[in-house]
């Protein structure tokens, strides 16, 4: 394994300010069952090192898949040269100085998924497939088993040496119903940072049966009329909303660039006083981020506390330039990519309402459900964000009365969360091995969630 | 690459000795340069060189895949891994092998040697010019401030190799140029923003600067944008938004795999009038240096230009080798992979929507209540299985009685793409734009549901 000493030597030889490296060994498995036929069974293993050189305030990156010292030296030289080449037009960055970091962490598991034969994984999907296709109206079923083992080591010319590893796995389903000439689709997944015991601990036949019946029912359902609604969002939807509505706009690199409507608003009211939003690396049900890809221990950050914007998410560079402290949010998709400021597990802290109580009290509106939701997107500069839901319910007389197809929700960062008037007590955070959050061409795993939450006057459309 | 290429050939030759009846290799060697922008300056620069290698093996109708980024070490070990994965896979009853006996490819260039030869310093100059051009129009129009807040410029050069044990051996060098910039501008204390992207296989500096200028001119139109009342509005989708919407809500429906597996509303509709007669859509791999321009697909099958919709009638669907064999027809050169070890699935090379006679100005003049949609988010959550189409408008202009009256943001447009492109289609523009692997004109769509205030 590489020693930070090599980076210290290179830094001194080149007269650079700072050099760091991210070493990654990655292994994944994917099984795709498409209408009962194995469409794909593949494994993926790769490894490499990404280096960053900061020289006179300019930042250069390069990568190599050689883990030998000579390959690393060559990558450092390439990164140094490109930093110099662009220095005339570069921001003069600085970075947060900190004591040398040493650390190690691994996610927990009981049964290593790599020790489980593929035949067992295929059998699981085949059993789910036959359950799904026995439901009348189901026309197409794609099931996936996904697993990844990600081992990362961070070293720097500051002498830092931090390593962490995680195992993550899950199952997803994409169902199509064809009922009376109408198509409907539903996607859902269940993942966790765990071992094979996660798979063994779930009743997958029940899981898929419930979703198969839902997609058929939804094919017969109508659309919600476009307009403004009072809504209750379930746990998954709250996570999606926060991730888009506040998470991205609070990322230090976006703020630094002038690309966020939250810039200059620290200390200002941005949400109802019921709203407290956390970004935390280790949460039940969420992703596993004990350290970020600059070796910084991930600490719990309250982006919004009681409705007031309190802190942005930072790397060592944005912390220095925005007068903050590193928060452990500097992340990369893989060793090949430059560091971006990213969310980890974003969630709203629970309060005291029961979910049913909240719906009963609303009387009339929409109960927006996350099962089948596809995700969201934000333009942090304009402040507009959007996300979709799964099949949801029109609420009449305080009861979920009528199923409607998934909707698209749209809000404005500085306005929407001011209309939150009830926060539930049922915190739930989820993650996914099949996707994550995309930014500037990089997808990283994230978790999100919260309790049930009620928002007044939300724009709902997409029917 | 030469060393790796000979290892790949060796690997294919040795595959049969490991119990695999067939093997296919798809490998990409990429050299890339990328510059990220924050606050008018470069925040970081990246140079990298990478291999991405996918192997697929088959025997007795069992198929498996292995992906790696290095062939250092023992080739036999990789083949043993591939054999083990393949053996674990149950039979695919439809499997009929990797491609054999392919015809020659046409001369289609996807490589810009000039951009590949440009130094980092020269690329940075291009980026600077694009940023200056983007900022210039608002500043000229009296804006107090105009700043490129975020962006990225990348140039990639890739050598793609496809080899299989049936003797297919193809190799091509392609380039890829992607630039996107977001501008923030302030006038009279109000703030507006605008984003644009340039994505082609070549770098045309004049075209890039024109695009930056044109988008810079649009930026100030969106000062003080806000949601509007819910209701039905005509939509004029500019070419960029047409490309984005059709790519997600319509294009996958032409995949033969989706048709075979009951995931396409076009199943059984070949030869039928499904769309408006003003609509013609082609798969065109020969558009000059567009992002999807290529001489062959990811299986080595030559690409071909063909209409998929002609005057509203569904004329053809897109095939990989696998789907073509399953449907007893010829492959169409549309087998592309999500990543090197993945099975190829059918998709467009470039999706070309033929231009018509209208213009954006004409459409606006004839609209009594509508929105000109310049930028959207969330369109990728549209559903190609149902045709359900949805997006949130971040940059729109409200039109009343033939005149633009105010900017709009934060409203949801929604409907069904098959209705929009049949009885809902009122006009097709002549303003064809190439945006990545899509080329489209403006479209005027009648009475779309809009959720707002």
| Residue that has been written with the tokens 């090379």 in this structure | B349
pLDDT over 90 at A153, yes or no:
yes
- Judge whether A40 is closer than 8 Å to chain B, CB to CB: yes
A338 and B36 in contact by Cβ < 8 A? yes
Q: CA A121 to CA B106: how far, in whole Å?
A: 43
Residues from chain B contacting residue A259 (CB–CB below 8 Å): 38, 149-150, 182, 184
Average pLDDT of chain B, as a whole number: 95
Q: Which of A42, A78, A461 is the closest to B413 by Cβ? A: A461
Please tell me the least confidently modeled range out of A230-239, A375-384, B155-164, B359-368. A375-384
pLDDT value at residue A463: 65
Q: Which of A39, A41, A459 is the closest to B452 by Cβ? A: A459
Report chain B's C-alpha Rg in angstroms. 24
Average pLDDT of chain A, as a whole number: 95
- A224 near B388, Cβ under 8 Å? no
Q: Which of A52, A64, A381 is the closest to B182 by Cβ? A: A381
B410 and A78 in contact by Cβ < 8 A? no
Q: Which residue has the higher pLDDT, B12 or B337?
A: B337
pLDDT value at residue B255: 98
- A71 near B93, Cβ under 8 Å? no
Q: CA A346 to CA A281: how far, in whole Å?
A: 9
Inter-chain contacts counted by CB atoms under 8 A, chains A and B: 270
A376 and B378 in contact by Cβ < 8 A? yes
Residue pLDDT, tens place only, A43-53:
999 999 999 99
Residue of B nearest to A179 (CA): B386
Report domain extents, chain B.
113-220, 225-453
The architecture of the domain spanning B113-220 is: 2-Layer Sandwich (3.30)
pLDDT band of A18, cuts 50, 70, 90 = very high
Mean pLDDT value of segment A317-336: 96
Q: Of B84, B111, B108, give the one whose Cα is nearest residue B20.
A: B84
Q: Of B378, B388, B405, give the one whose Cα is nearest residue B448.
A: B388
- B360 near B236, Cβ under 8 Å? yes
Q: Does the ipTM surpass 0.95?
A: no
3-state SS class at A216:
helix
Q: Which two tokens stand for residue B9?
A: 């050939």
pLDDT over 70 at A12, yes or no:
yes
Q: CA A72 to CA A70: how far, in whole Å?
A: 5
The shortest C-alpha distance from B341 to chain A (Å) reads 7
pLDDT value at residue B82: 93
B45 and A39 in contact by Cβ < 8 A? no
What is residue A268's DSSP assignment?
S
CATH of domain A5-220: 3.30.2290.10
Residue pLDDT, tens place only, B99-117:
997 788 888 999 999 999 9
A370: left (phi over 0), alpha (psi -120 to 50) or beta: alpha
Reported as half-sphere exposure (CB side, CA atoms, 13 A), residue A394 has a value of: 13
The shortest C-alpha distance from B88 to chain A (Å) reads 6
A42 and B66 in contact by Cβ < 8 A? yes
Residue pLDDT, tens place only, A254-287:
999 988 889 999 999 999 999 999 999 999 999 9
Mean pLDDT value of segment A67-90: 92
Report domain extents, chain A.
5-220, 227-461
Instruction: Identify any residues that bridge with B58 across adjacent strands, giving them in sequence order.
Output: B22, B63
pLDDT value at residue A324: 95
| Strands A37-55 and A18-34, bridge-based pairing | antiparallel
Mean pLDDT value of segment A198-213: 98
B39 and A91 in contact by Cβ < 8 A? yes
What is residue A71's DSSP assignment?
H
| Strands A138-156 and B145-164, bridge-based pairing | unpaired
Q: Which of B92, B261, B394 is the closest to A379 by Cβ? A: B394
Query: What is the full DSSP assignment across A200-212?
Result: HTS-HHHHHHHHH
pLDDT over 70 at B287, yes or no:
yes
pLDDT over 80 at B1, yes or no:
no
- A170 near A434, Cβ under 8 Å? yes
CA B278-B283-B286 angle, to 5 degrees, is 120
Residues from chain A contacting residue B68 (CB–CB below 8 Å): 44-46
pLDDT band of B61, cuts 50, 70, 90 = very high
* Neighbour tally for A161: CB within 10 Å: 19
Q: CA A413 to CA A3: how far, in whole Å?
A: 45
Q: Which of A61, A81, A183 is the closest to B265 by Cβ? A: A183
CA B17-B21-B23 angle, to 5 degrees, is 90
pLDDT value at residue A1: 65
CA A87-B33-B127 angle, to 5 degrees, is 60
pLDDT value at residue B78: 86
- The interface residues of chain A toward chain B in range 264-323, judged by CB-CB distance below 8 A, are none
Q: Is B446 exposed, middle or buried (0-12, 13-18, 19+ CB in 10 A)?
A: middle
Say what percent of chain A tops pLDDT 70: 100
pLDDT value at residue B3: 66
pLDDT value at residue B146: 96
Query: Between the CA atoms of B127, A95, A441 and A170, what dihedral angle is there, to the nearest 10 degrees?
Result: 180
Q: Which of B265, B343, B387 is the closest to A40 by Cβ? A: B343
Q: Of B437, B379, B417, B373, give the one whose Cα is nearest residue B399.
A: B373
Residues from chain B contacting residue A116 (CB–CB below 8 Å): none
Q: Which two tokens stand for residue B312?
A: 């509203």
Q: Of A41, A47, A53, give the one whose Cα is nearest residue A14.
A: A53
E strand or H helix at A399, and its extent? strand A399-404
- B438 near B350, Cβ under 8 Å? yes
pLDDT value at residue A66: 83
Residue of B nearest to A390 (CA): B381
- Judge whether A41 is closer than 8 Å to chain B, CB to CB: yes
B388 and A38 in contact by Cβ < 8 A? no
Q: What is the 3-state secondary structure (H, E, C) of chain B?
A: CHHHHHHHHHHHHHHHHHCCCEEEEEEEEEEEEEEEEECCEEEEEEEEEEEEEEEEEEECCEEEEEEECCCCCCHHHHHHHHHHHHHHCCCCCCCCCCCCCCCCCCCCCCCCHHHHHCCHHHHHHHHHHHHHHHHHHHHHCCCCEEEEEEEEEEEEEEEEEEEECCCCEEEEEEEEEEEEEEEEEEECCEEEEEEEEEEECCCCHHHHHHHHHHHHHHHHHHCCCECCCCEEEEEEECHHHHHHHHHHHCHHHHEHHHHHCCCCCCCCCCCCECCCCCCCEEECCCCCCECCCCCECCCCCECCCEEEEECCEECCCECCHHHHHHCCCCCCCCEECCCCCCCCEECCCCEEECCCCECHHHHHHHCCEEEEEEEEECHHHCECCCCEEEEEEEEEEEEECCEEEEEECCEEEEEEHHHHCCCCEEEEECCCEEECCEEECCEEEEEEEEECC
Say what percent of chain B tops pLDDT 70: 99
pLDDT value at residue B2: 57
Evaluated on CA atoms B241, B244, B248, B251, the torsion sign reads positive
Query: What is the full DSSP assignment across A92-122?
Result: ----------EEEEE---SS-GGGS-HHHHH
């Amino acid at each position: 394994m590489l020693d930070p000493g090599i980076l210290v030597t290179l830094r001194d030889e080149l007269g650079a300010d700072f050099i760091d490296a991210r070493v990654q060994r990655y292994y994944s498995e994917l099984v795709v069952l498409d209408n009962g036929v194995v469409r794909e069974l593949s494994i993926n293993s790769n490894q490499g090192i990404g280096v960053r050189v900061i020289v006179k305030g300019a930042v250069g990156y390069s990568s190599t898949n050689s883990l030998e010292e000579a390959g690393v030296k060559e990558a450092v030289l390439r990164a140094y040269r490109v930093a110099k080449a662009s220095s005339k037009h570069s921001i003069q960055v600085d970075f947060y100085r900190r004591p040398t970091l040493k650390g190690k962490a691994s996610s927990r598991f009981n049964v290593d998924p790599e020790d489980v034969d593929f035949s067992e994984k295929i059998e699981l999907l085949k059993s789910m497939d036959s359950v799904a296709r026995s439901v009348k109206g189901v026309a197409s079923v794609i099931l996936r088993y996904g697993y990844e083992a990600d081992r990362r080591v961070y070293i720097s010319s500051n002498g830092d040496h931090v390593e962490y590893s995680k195992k993550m796995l899950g199952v997803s389903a994409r169902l199509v119903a064809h009922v009376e000439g109408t198509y409907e689709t539903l996607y859902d997944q269940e993942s966790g940072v765990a071992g094979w015991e996660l798979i063994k601990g779930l009743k997958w036949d029940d899981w898929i049966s419930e979703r198969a019946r839902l997609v058929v029912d939804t094919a017969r359902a109508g659309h919600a009329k476009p307009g403004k609604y009072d809504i209750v969002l379930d746990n998954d939807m709250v996570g999606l909303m926060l991730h888009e509505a506040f998470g991205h706009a609070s990322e230090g690199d976006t703020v630094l660039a002038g690309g966020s409507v939250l810039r200059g608003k620290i200390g200002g009211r941005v949400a109802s006083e019921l709203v407290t939003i956390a970004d935390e690396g280790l949460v039940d049900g969420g992703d596993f981020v004990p350290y970020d890809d600059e070796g910084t221990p991930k600490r719990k950050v309250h982006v919004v506390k009681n409705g007031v914007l309190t802190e942005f998410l930072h790397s060592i560079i944005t912390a220095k330039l925005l007068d903050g402290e590193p928060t452990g949010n500097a992340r990369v998709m893989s060793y090949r990519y430059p560091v971006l400021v990213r969310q980890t597990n974003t969630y709203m802290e629970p309060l005291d309402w029961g979910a049913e109580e909240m719906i009963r009290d609303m009387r009339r509106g929409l109960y927006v459900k996350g099962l089948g939701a596809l995700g969201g997107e934000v333009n942090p500069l304009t402040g507009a964000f959007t996300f979709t839901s799964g099949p949801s319910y029109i609420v009449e007389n305080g009861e979920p009365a009528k199923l409607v197809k998934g909707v698209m929700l749209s809000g404005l960062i500085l306005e929407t969360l001011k209309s939150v008037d009830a926060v539930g007590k049922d915190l739930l955070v989820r993650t996914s091995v099949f996707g994550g959050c995309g930014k500037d061409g990089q997808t990283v795993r994230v978790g999100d969630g919260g309790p049930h939450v009620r928002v007044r006057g939300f724009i709902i459309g997409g029917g | 690459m030469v060393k790796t290429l000979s290892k790949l050939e060796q690997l294919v030759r040795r595959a049969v000795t490991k119990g695999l009846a067939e093997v296919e290799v798809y490998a990409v060697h990429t050299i890339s340069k990328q510059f990220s922008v924050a606050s008018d300056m470069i925040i970081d620069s990246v140079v990298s060189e990478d291999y991405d290698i996918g192997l697929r093996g088959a025997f007795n109708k069992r198929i498996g895949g292995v992906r790696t980024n290095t062939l250092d070490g023992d080739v036999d070990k990789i083949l043993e891994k591939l054999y083990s994965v393949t053996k674990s896979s149950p039979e695919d009853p439809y499997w009929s092998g990797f491609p054999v006996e392919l015809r020659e490819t046409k001369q289609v260039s996807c490589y810009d040697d000039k951009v590949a030869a440009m130094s980092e310093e020269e690329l940075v100059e291009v980026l600077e010019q694009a940023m200056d051009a983007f900022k210039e129009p608002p500043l000229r129009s009296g804006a107090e401030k105009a700043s490129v807040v975020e962006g990225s410029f990348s140039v990639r050069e890739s050598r793609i190799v496809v080899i299989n044990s049936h003797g297919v051996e193809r190799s091509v060098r392609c380039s890829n140029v992607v630039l996107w910039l977001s501008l923030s501008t302030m006038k009279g204390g109000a703030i507006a923003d605008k984003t644009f992207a340039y994505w082609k296989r070549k770098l045309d500096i004049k075209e890039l600067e024109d695009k930056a200028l044109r988008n810079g001119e649009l930026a100030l139109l969106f000062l003080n944008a806000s949601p509007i009342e819910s209701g039905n509005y005509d939509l004029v989708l500019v070419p960029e938004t047409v490309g984005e919407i059709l790519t997600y809500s319509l294009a996958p429906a032409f995949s033969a795999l989706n048709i075979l597996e009951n995931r396409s509303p076009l199943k059984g509709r070949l030869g039928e009038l499904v769309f408006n007669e003003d609509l013609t859509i082609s798969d065109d791999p020969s558009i000059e240096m567009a992002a999807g321009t290529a001489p062959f697909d990811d299986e080595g099958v030559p690409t071909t230009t063909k209409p998929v919709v002609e005057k509203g009638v569904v004329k053809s669907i897109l095939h990989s080798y696998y789907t073509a064999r399953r449907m007893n027809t010829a492959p169409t050169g549309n087998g592309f992979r999500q990543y090197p070890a993945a099975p190829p699935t059918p998709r467009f090379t470039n999706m070309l929507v033929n231009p018509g006679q209208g213009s954006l100005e004409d459409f606006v003049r004839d609209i009594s209540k509508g929105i000109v949609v310049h930028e959207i988010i969330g369109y990728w959550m549209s559903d190609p299985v149902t045709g359900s189409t949805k997006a949130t408008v971040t940059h729109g202009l409200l039109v009343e009685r033939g005149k633009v009256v105010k900017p709009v943001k934060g409203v949801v447009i929604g409907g069904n793409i098959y209705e929009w492109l049949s009885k809902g289609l009122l006009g097709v523009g002549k303003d064809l734009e190439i945006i990545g692997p899509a080329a489209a004109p403006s479209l005027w769509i009648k009475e779309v549901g809009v959720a707002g205030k």
